[in-house]
A = this chain, B = another copy of it.
Amino acid sequence: MENQPIGFLDSGVGGLTVVKEAMRQLPHEDIVFIGDQARLPYGPRPTDQVQEFTWQMTNFLLKKNIKMLVFACNTATAEALSVIKPHLSIPVVGVILPGTRAAIKATHNQRIGVISTEGTHKSQAYVEAIHARNPDLEVMSMAAPKFVPLVESNQFDTPLARKVVEETLAPFKNSGIDTLILGCTHYPLLRPLIQSYLGEDVQLIDSGAEAVSEVSVLLDYFNLTNSDTQHVGIKQFYTTAAPEMFDLIATQWLGLTSLRAQQVHISGDQSWKRN
């Protein structure tokens, strides 16, 4: 089982920020990634639809014989993980608890900010996870609905992006937080702009990167780590939309020269209803 791939799912290219960290920390592991670009953004969608789409991606990855599943998407983690996890026999990892743990470890002044999609923000998943650990921490949570479209349209390092980042994050400026959770896996692509606007005194927590540490712990715990250290992990990328834009962003972000995503259709899959 240790030679099987790890599956990663996201609404779009954001999950690649998690894949990038996995490639660094776990170079021998095979990876299968699916981004549901045809139906993004997930943030504004109703919960039952997020669950349906996430089930469809999960079923697609299960057919690829994965040994572990990573919800590389905060919205899917907040709205679908607790529903899907009990049905699966493989370990399932989300991004919210790892981001929460890292932020609690990082803050010195007990004031944490969170930015996320509307769905994640409304679910209060981060606020609840933080307060479940320490009710005395002050948490300032906000939705940043314009960030995902910026990243998916490959405009994440443009003057427009800078303007949107500054407008969106204005309430955090001088708010006294010393730690900001990037509560959507798309946001690390905007990290330079976010850090530059908020200043070096605010620590940015990349919840996706933190999730890879959890993947590593669970691979070891369940004896699933690929022990073939000569093996260079094989990466397969799938998207539900036309792959050109995916390839452009993924090549640039992952530094892989010959990346080719394949387009797949998963929206007809109704098998999740049996679960």
Interface pair B220/A217, CB less than 8 Å apart: no
Cα-based distance from A227 to B135 in the complex (angstroms): 11
A134 and B229 contacting across the interface, CB-CB below 8 Å: yes
CB distance from A214 to the nearest CB of B (A): 5
A105 within 8 A of B: yes
A216 B101 Cβ-Cβ under 8 A: yes
Given A217-B214, A220-B97, does the pair A229, B132 have CB atoms closer than 8 Å? Answer: yes
Q: How many residues from A make CB contacts under 8 Å with B?
A: 23
Asked if A11 is at the interface of the complex by the 8 Å CB criterion, the answer is no
Q: Is A25 an interface residue (CB 8 A)?
A: yes
Residues in chain A within 8 A of chain B (CB atoms): 25, 27, 91, 97-98, 101, 105, 131-135, 213-214, 216-218, 220-221, 225, 227, 229-230
Residues of B within 8 A of A105 (CB): 25
Q: Please pick, from B101, B132, B216, B225, the residue contacting A132 in the complex, using a CB distance under 8 A.
A: B225
Q: Is the pair B97, A229 in contact by a Cβ cutoff of 8 Å?
A: no
Instruction: Determine the chain B residues whose CB is within 8 A of the CB of A227 once the complex forms.
Output: 132
- Assess whether B25 is in contact with A229, with CB atoms less than 8 Å apart: no
Contacts of A25 in B (CB 8 A): 105
Tell me which residues across on chain B come within 8 A of A98, comparing CB atoms.
217
